[in-house]
Structure 1
Amino acid sequence: MIRRFLAGLMVVLLSGCSSVSYYSQLASGQWELLCARQPVAEVIADPARPQGLREHLVQSQKARTFASQQLHLPDNQSYRLYADIGRPYVVWNVFATQEFSLSPENHCFPIAGCVAYHGYYSQGAARGEAALLRQQGMDVSIGGVEAYSTLGWFNDPIMNTMMHWGDERLATLIFHELAHQRFYLKDDTGFNESFATFVEQEGTRQWRAARGLAPVSDAALQQRDQFIQLILDTRKRLENLYAQPLPAEAMRAGKAAAFERLRNDYQQLRDSQWGGDKRYDAWINQPMNNARLLPFGLYDQWVPAFAALFRQEGGDWVRFYRAVQALGGLAAPERKARLQQLMNGHQEMAAEAPGYK
């Protein structure tokens, strides 16, 4: 394992994609995480550990077994290990855009390819990077991350950062991150996250059914989808605004108006259709900028397309993964066209059969 870690470290340090100091903190942060791991079975068997933690881990292992046996996700030591890293997030991601753009400042890595953020194991380092970017006139957002996948390079652990979640949310995380290990397409975040999100959602549906539980409430799913649609509508309005040949002051005024409309539309939706449910108030009431909108759409852009593909493959996971791999092997324009074709087919099926997901 040490040889594997050092080999990977040399690759990133010699790649020239970014500064040695940035890669050094990535390497030291990952090494700290690796050293903190211990088998979940040992934690469960340790009477000195909190009872709530041990019970939570017992349930996690049932979901972990289901992931490999029923969803045909990788059968390795990932999420059969536990690590307490002594902080609420494992990394902090820094997103940035130009003042009048919704295109992220991408960063490229030898293994993961290009992604729309810089990750830091220290919150202070993330804030320092964000301050420098703001000085350059950029829109910046920092988001704490409770888990991530190393794409099978290492056995990823369950972490203390996840222990405030319920048993089902932890299960969905395991399904999502193992999906990244099952298939990952370099340089296509939308494809990767939509694929993993579909596996998470369908896997959770099957996990609930296997335990005799009812499907997740349509009302809760509808609220989530409606909130995301508000964000996507705002992005579209901003994209149209930024495409116009306007002076900077007029552009800033239009940008502020778009964010104000987002807040007003949200409040109207919350009060008129959600019965005053305030679950998204904390997010909507924070200062707005382009960078805060970046994650929306990345994680679910093509989810309906993967749902249609899963249906085409008869709900057979092995056949589905094979089809996903074939789809990932297409050239980018052809792959996008095929995803759009699948998306259109899914929408037509939903229109013909109300209640179809």
Structure 2
Amino acid sequence: MIPHPAEPRQHLRRYLGTQWRRLLKIAGTASATLAVAFLGLTPMGCYLSRAAYEEARILARRQPIPRLVARESTEPALRAKLALVLEARQFAVDSLRLKAEESFTTFSQLDRDTLVLVVSAAYPDRLERKTWWFPVVGRFPYKGFFDFTEARRTAEALSAEGYDVTVGPASAFSTLGWFNDPLVSTTVKADSVTLVNTVLHELLHTTFFAKGQVSFNESFATFVGGRGAEHFFRARGDSALLRRAQDDWHDDLLLGAFWERTAKEIDSVFATLPDSARTPRIAARDTVYTRARRRLVDSVGPQLRTYPAGWVERVPLNNAVLMSRRVYAERLDRFDSVYTAAGGDIREAIRRVIAAHRDSVRTTEKTRKAGN
């Protein structure tokens, strides 16, 4: 399967590459001979070796951002973007009380326009994503490739096996504190609103990350990046970029509701058919996607403010696409309701969401212990 055209705002297309960034742990738990054999002779070993090599290259190119901003020889457009990153980082710390640690203090210039291609797949007859197993860290519902030819080859093989597949670029990543992640040139090329959104999104991950709850984590970060960017540009007195940030969040909410409704409709038709009825289930979900496309074109599309003309006709609709989008946009309205209840105070909304989640975890744990 050939990768579909990238969405216009790729700040929602991030790759949490923890599986290959923990590669060093493998060496600590296996003999050198076995490790070399694994890394050099098996498909997974080759994949991890390539990832570790590319990560090492990125880390080796790190330069302190403040030094680049102060340097006269730094290209003016790059200097302006890097200065904006530092400003957004400080805003996250001072105004949102996010933990920045060492994130976004260094910059790496890459020699390519795309950081990594991410392949995701799903079963066509149920809303379930295919997962890949990695040593030490377990299973993940996506696989990232620095080798783009291999990414396309993998996507084509999955499609031939009958999976729904989606392929897209990731321009940024977070290792959740495992490394001092540099800002990379593929991220800096984004527009100013997207760049600020990305900084706030990733720093939310640094501040809070619920174990085993990918959709909650990413959707929470989408909320913080979206609403946080509004507050950043408002505080900066930049009315033009404030309007753009508001338009971005408007579209995030609108599309989040679209993906949510579509998923519920597919769940409903699947519930009427037995698991063994693969062909009827696929036909039923195709009918849902046909209706969803009409809704996207006729109703949702005219309301979008930041997407180019024709996007609603081009975006693929299948289970892999649906589930990948929902990871970053699951019930965004719930986070926004907390924001509204907090009187539009984004810092207080963040605090309330984190507190409510921790309370829920404690309650669940007490119930589990009582049941035992």
Give the TM-score normalised by the residue count of structure 1. Answer: 0.77
Higher deviation after alignment, 107-116 or 88-97 = 107-116
Higher deviation after alignment, 105-114 or 64-73 = 105-114
Change (3 A) 1:280 1:294: farther
Amino acid corresponding to residue 323 of structure 2 in structure 1: L
Tell me the C-alpha RMSD between the 2 structures: 3.6
2:74 & 2:346 partners in 1: Cα distance?
40
Contact 2:121 2:320 in 1 (8 A): yes
Task: Give the 3-state SS of the residue equivalent to 1:141 in structure 2.
Answer: strand
Question: Residue 41 of structure 1 corresponds to which residue in structure 2?
Answer: 66
Amino acid corresponding to residue 264 of structure 2 in structure 1: K
Change (3 A) 1:255 1:113: same
Tell me by how many angstroms 1:283 deviates.
Answer: 5.7
Task: Give the 3-state SS of the residue equivalent to 1:299 in structure 2.
Answer: helix
Question: Residue 45 of structure 2 corresponds to which residue in structure 1?
Answer: 20
The reply on whether 1:241 has 2:253 as its aligned counterpart is no
Match of 1:30 among 42, 52, 55: 55
Question: Residue 34 of structure 2 corresponds to which residue in structure 1?
Answer: none
Question: Residue 349 of structure 1 corresponds to which residue in structure 2?
Answer: none
The reply on whether 1:300 has 2:329 as its aligned counterpart is yes
Contact 2:133 2:139 in 1 (8 A): yes
Question: Residue 263 of structure 1 corresponds to which residue in structure 2?
Answer: 293
Task: Give the 3-state SS of the residue equivalent to 2:324 in structure 1.
Answer: coil
Amino acid corresponding to residue 204 of structure 1 in structure 2: A
The reply on whether 1:9 has 2:37 as its aligned counterpart is no
| Bigger relative contact order (CA 8 A; separation at least 6) | 2
Alignment of 1:200-239 (within 5 A): 200-214=225-239, 216=243, 221-239=249-267
> C-alpha offsets along residues 146-197 of structure 1, whole Å, 9 cap, x if unaligned?
0011111212222111233222221111011011111112211122112222
1:303 & 1:279 partners in 2: Cα distance?
22
Higher deviation after alignment, 253-262 or 154-163 = 253-262
1:219 & 1:324 partners in 2: Cα distance?
26
Task: Give the 3-state SS of the residue equivalent to 2:111 in structure 1.
Answer: coil
Contact 1:232 1:296 in 2 (8 A): no
1:272 & 1:31 partners in 2: Cα distance?
45
2:255 & 2:342 partners in 1: Cα distance?
31
Alignment of 1:85-234 (within 5 A): 85-107=110-132, 114-214=139-239, 216=243, 221-234=249-262
1:209 & 1:272 partners in 2: Cα distance?
27
Task: Give the 3-state SS of the residue equivalent to 1:292 in structure 2.
Answer: helix
2:299 & 2:335 partners in 1: Cα distance?
29
1:229 & 1:311 partners in 2: Cα distance?
18
Tell me by how many angstroms 1:142 deviates.
Answer: 0.8
Amino acid corresponding to residue 257 of structure 1 in structure 2: T
Contact 1:11 1:110 in 2 (8 A): no
Task: Give the 3-state SS of the residue equivalent to 1:143 in structure 2.
Answer: strand
Task: Give the 3-state SS of the residue equivalent to 1:65 in structure 2.
Answer: helix
1:142 & 1:297 partners in 2: Cα distance?
15
Change (3 A) 1:124 1:317: same
Question: Residue 308 of structure 2 corresponds to which residue in structure 1?
Answer: 279
Change (3 A) 1:29 1:325: farther
Match of 1:66 among 91, 94, 98: 91
Contact 2:301 2:312 in 1 (8 A): no
2:330 & 2:168 partners in 1: Cα distance?
20
Amino acid corresponding to residue 186 of structure 1 in structure 2: K
Number of corresponding residues? 329
2:362 & 2:289 partners in 1: Cα distance?
32
1:289 & 1:7 partners in 2: Cα distance?
30
Change (3 A) 1:253 1:327: closer
Stretches of structure 2 that go unaligned for 5 or more consecutive residues are 1-19, 31-37, 368-372
Change (3 A) 1:162 1:272: closer
> C-alpha offsets along residues 207-249 of structure 1, whole Å, 9 cap, x if unaligned?
1231124554666544443333233222222222333138444
Contact 2:253 2:333 in 1 (8 A): no
Task: Give the 3-state SS of the residue equivalent to 1:295 in structure 2.
Answer: helix
Change (3 A) 1:320 1:111: farther
Contact 2:335 2:353 in 1 (8 A): no
Contact 2:26 2:135 in 1 (8 A): yes
Change (3 A) 1:199 1:42: same
Match of 1:253 among 246, 260, 283: 283
2:304 & 2:338 partners in 1: Cα distance?
32
2:153 & 2:362 partners in 1: Cα distance?
35
